[in-house]
Amino acid sequence: MRTLVQVGLVAFGSAVGGLARWGVGLLAARLFGTAFPWGTFVINVTGSLFLGWFATLLGDRLLQGVGWIDADGLRLMLAVGFVGAYTTFSTFEYESDKMLREGDGFLGWTYIFASVFVGLAAVRLGVFLARWR
């Protein structure tokens, strides 16, 4: 029975994460256009920020669970399910390759470096925010 509950938690988190990814992608395209893959960039950076924050809260035992769900269930639902469906490394790789193949090296490399470094900074910010009192 426990495994069935875990499957349900991951599935629920994945459904919400996938819907959030779709919505943020649409919003970014409307706000910033489609000449640069802003949707994927924003999704990966905000996902990195959230995962850094959430994993730190969970790892530092600041978060024990919320009412009906324990810490392991929260991790499965949010870190594995939601963030797993929300962020999109494979799309990032595909978009990077496409820009490089189509001869837009400056934009492609800018996207690669900005995604990696801003994403890492977002994780660090998430850790800082989780520990900030």
Using 50, 70 and 90 to split pLDDT, how confident is the model at 68?
confident
By the 8 A CB rule, do 88 and 41 touch?
Answer: no
pLDDT of the residue at 25: 96
pLDDT of the residue at 63: 67
The residues that bridge with 69 in the sheet, in sequence order, are 66
pLDDT of the residue at 65: 64
Using 50, 70 and 90 to split pLDDT, how confident is the model at 124?
very high
Question: CB neighbours (10 Å) of residue 40?
Answer: 25
Using 50, 70 and 90 to split pLDDT, how confident is the model at 47?
very high
pLDDT of the residue at 55: 86
Query: 3-state class of 93 per DSSP?
Result: helix
What value does the mean pLDDT of the chain take? 92
Residue-range domain boundaries for the chain: 2-131
Using 50, 70 and 90 to split pLDDT, how confident is the model at 111?
very high
The residues that bridge with 32 in the sheet, in sequence order, are none
**What are the CA-CA distances from residue 117 to residues 11, 37, 122, 123 (Å)?**
30, 16, 9, 10
pLDDT digits (tens, 9 = 90+) for 74-92: 889 999 999 999 998 888 9
pLDDT of the residue at 110: 96
